Amino acid sequence: MKIAIDVQNSGETPDNAPERGFLVALARDVKLAARSKGEVIQALAFFIVVASLFPLAIGPESALLKRIAPGVVWVAALLSVLLTLPRLFANDYADGTLEQLALSVYPLPVIVLGKIVAHWLMAGLPLALLSPLLGLQFGLESRELVVLFASLMLGTPVLSMIGAIGAALTLGVRGGSILLALLVLPLYIPVLIFGAGAVEQAMVALDFSANLSLLGAILLLGGLVVPFAAAAAVKISLD
């Protein structure tokens, strides 16, 4: 009930509550993730290990390594984000906090957006920051590393957004993690294609801006639609 209490004490009304609701949800989830760092470290370790195993398995053939680099890094990032998705709403659902958030004066889509941004900050942003270092293992040049980083900065928030809908729909379902993967993986395919495609275009000295623009358009559309869709899915799971 902390959110409702804060509103009453500060004299805020529902009209000016949405922005504060976003910040409260964002700060709360970031603090909780910082206190239990194991899941974040596990996802980062998975990303590093998966991306690093390919050069070891394939060998020192530089042309082949460079050719597969965009797909390997992007798939590793996608799977790493997928590992963290089941906990996006699960803990709050288990202890009843999610129901209290749904009944608070703050709009539920705003709270959901705050949780999505917090998830990206803890799960998606570190992957994007690490990607240039991993790209060096595949022999990518500086221009290609920049494009790889830019594509992940635009694409990983979309992975969190799409995953939020799946995580909300599978709340309280037995075997929810497997069902979540089945729901979201097909929806991740366009992001994977555009993200890896941007780096591949840069590798052959072609214009990669179209791929990045498409990722940006998906991100913008997702920011407008996903909070409402995920909030509706949360309400369905709570009913």
* pLDDT for position 11: 46
Name every residue whose Cβ is closer than 8 Å to that of residue 33 and which is 6 or more positions away in sequence: 39, 40, 118, 122
Q: What integer is the mean pLDDT of 210-232?
A: 95
Contacts by 12-19 with C-beta closer than 8 Å and gap 24+? Answer: 12/105, 14/105, 14/106, 17/105, 17/106, 17/107, 18/106, 18/107, 18/110, 19/110
* pLDDT for position 5: 35
* pLDDT for position 60: 79
Token pair for residue 198?
């941007």
Cβ atoms 43, 80 nearer than 8 A: yes
Name every residue whose Cβ is closer than 8 Å to that of residue 150 and which is 6 or more positions away in sequence: 198, 212
pLDDT at 6 over 50: no
Average pLDDT in the chain: 88
R_g (Cα) of the chain, nearest Å: 19
Q: What integer is the mean pLDDT of 81-110?
A: 88
Residue 207, SS3 per DSSP: coil
Picking from 185, 190, 184, 189, the residue whose alpha carbon sits closest to that of residue 165 is 184
Q: Using one digit for the tens of pLDDT, what is the confidence trace for 42-82?
A: 989 999 999 989 888 888 788 888 999 999 999 999 999 99
Task: Give backbone dihedrals phi and psi of 140, rounded to 5 degrees, phi first.
Answer: -70, 145
Q: Which residue has the tokens 């995953």?
A: 163
Residue 128, SS3 per DSSP: helix
Q: Using one digit for the tens of pLDDT, what is the confidence trace for 132-184?
A: 999 999 989 999 999 999 999 999 999 999 999 999 998 878 777 888 999 99
Residue 37, SS3 per DSSP: coil
> Would you state the torsion angle of the CA atoms of residues 45, 47, 48, 49, taken in this order, to the nearest 10 degrees?
80
Q: What integer is the mean pLDDT of 221-237?
A: 93
Q: What angle do CA 137, 188, 157 make, to 5 degrees?
A: 75
What is the Cα–Cα distance from 127 to 114, expressed in whole angstroms?
20
Range from 28-37, 53-62, 87-96, 146-155 that averages highest in pLDDT: 146-155
Q: What integer is the mean pLDDT of 111-120?
A: 94
Cβ atoms 123, 40 nearer than 8 A: yes
What is the Cα–Cα distance from 101 to 4, expressed in whole angstroms?
9
* pLDDT for position 108: 92
